[in-house]
Amino acid sequence: MSARPDAVATATAAVETVAAVESADPCCAAPLPVLGRDVTVPLVTGGEVTYAALDYAASAPALQRVWDDVAAYAPYYGSVHRGAGYLSQLSTDLFESSRVTVAEFLDCRADDQVVFTRSTTDSLNLLAAVVPADCEVFVFETEHHASLLPWGSPDAPGRRGSDARVTYLNAPRTPQQAVETLERALADRDPYGPALVCVTGASNVTGELWPVRELAAAAHAHGARIVLDAAQLAPHHPVSVQDLDVDWIAFSGHKLYAPFGSGVLAGRADWLQDSEPYLAGGGASRKVARRADGGVDVEWHTTAARHEAGSPNVIGVYSIASACKALTEAGFEGLVARERHLIATVREGLAEVPEVKVLSLFGDDAPRVGVISFVVDGWNSSHFAAALSAEYGIGVRDGLFCAHPLVRTLLGSDPQDPGECGAPEAAPGERSEVGVPPAEGWGRSLNAIRVSFGAGTPDEHVERFVGAVKALVRDGAQWKYRTEDGRCVPDRG
């Protein structure tokens, strides 16, 4: 729709609630209201406690503002595009205006496209499906599987994007080493063929920030393009396509304080326009006609709709736009300052426990977001995470965090070691004797523990977490645990 009818504009304005954010000392600012902040959970030792959600890196709780916006829109829900009815027009307008909001949030270039997908994984698989057949792809082994695996390999000839030649780069130990490693790899490539670099903005394992701007400069100096996996960066820091000079950005709504089921791929349009649609179907096609020989001729859209076949997830898209507005209005300066305070609380608390080893690529002084992974001397990681949940009402994550090569590198284990996300490497039992690590030792453990937090995390949650870690290491678990379906759970028998 080129212009919004007055009625549509009025209705749209009615569902776009504006949350007033009080200015205050950033470090003392209150957490943003999120769903579930008052939920209580039972403890295995008796009683209940307010749940401390410290697994933001997997899925952040939805902002109350986002939920309220979606609830206000829900009565106006209708089909998107081509519908003649009022609700369809309103929903179409909301869908397309959400695209504009996301483009502004990412500071996109004027000719960039914003394609709505299901998730970061879906976004990167979409990009893998449209890269030129002779493209060389460069990706560090430190990436999340969503950005490590879509590009194809000789071992998976049937996967989309498998015609691309993939070079996996070893884990760097400093930001400068990351840039130098990439520059060496790019210098050895065919300078006349297409190339793509895929890199994370913030690690989902260590939380460390990567030198995206410098990596983008190196890529462009060697004639390559770059895509940024911003799944862990966008919820914590402002992300600008133009300032970072990246070609594409991918992220997920469910990490940006929006409900599940929506994601974004934003950036250059040419590869997207020159490829076959990611999915073939209604919405992606502009014109379809039968040929005299019995076949079908199809004219595909050249806009973002080319890769958005089917009925779109209007509520998911609107929830992302709402989250973008809420974070922008809250102000990233204050959000970042408050998160640094929470990071310092956790890191200083863990540093007081000699048995705890925090995992890091770039060292203690590296800037990071609120994601910290660690192992505990004498503890199975799944056992420790289960005790945090069952005895203290704290939700963290244990395992390999869908970044198996990175975690194994950080733990010093063989890349070929078996193991799966969340599965304990040994049957959990009582806490080991103080100072006596498991048979494999710290470096041979097959999984770790991850605590992650963000804009909705109260101070009390991270303070309780630090206290619980100290108590578990000092006193051991108060309950017995057993393995059930690969998970460590309280033994209630």
28 an active-site residue? no
Neighbouring-strand partners of residue 289: 297
Residue listed under structure tokens 């939380």:
207
Alpha carbon 40 to its chain's center: 26
* Structure tokens, 454: 């963000």
* Structure tokens, 348: 């200083």
Q: What is the DSSP string of 217-252?
A: HHHHHTT-EEEEE-TTTTTTS---HHHHT-SEEEEE
Decide: 4 and 12 in contact? Cβ < 8 Å: yes
Q: Which of 324, 402, 421, 488 is catalytic?
A: 402
Residue type present at position 174: T
The secondary structure of the chain in percent helix, strand, coil, rounded to multiples of 5, reads 35, 20, 45
Residue listed under structure tokens 């890269």:
131
CA distance 432 to 274: 59
Q: How far, in Å, are 330, 342, 348 from residue 28 at the CA level?
A: 14, 11, 18
399: closest CA among 428, 361, 373?
A: 373
Contacts of residue 33, Cβ cutoff 8 Å, sequence gap at least 6 = 63, 64, 65, 456
Helix (H) or strand (E) holding 299: strand 296-300
Decide: 300 and 284 in contact? Cβ < 8 Å: yes
Contacts of residue 288, Cβ cutoff 8 Å, sequence gap at least 6 = 296, 297, 298, 299
CA distance 281 to 492: 51
Longest dimension (CA), the chain: 81
| Cα within 13 Å of Cα(478), Cβ side | 11
Residues noted as catalytic? 402
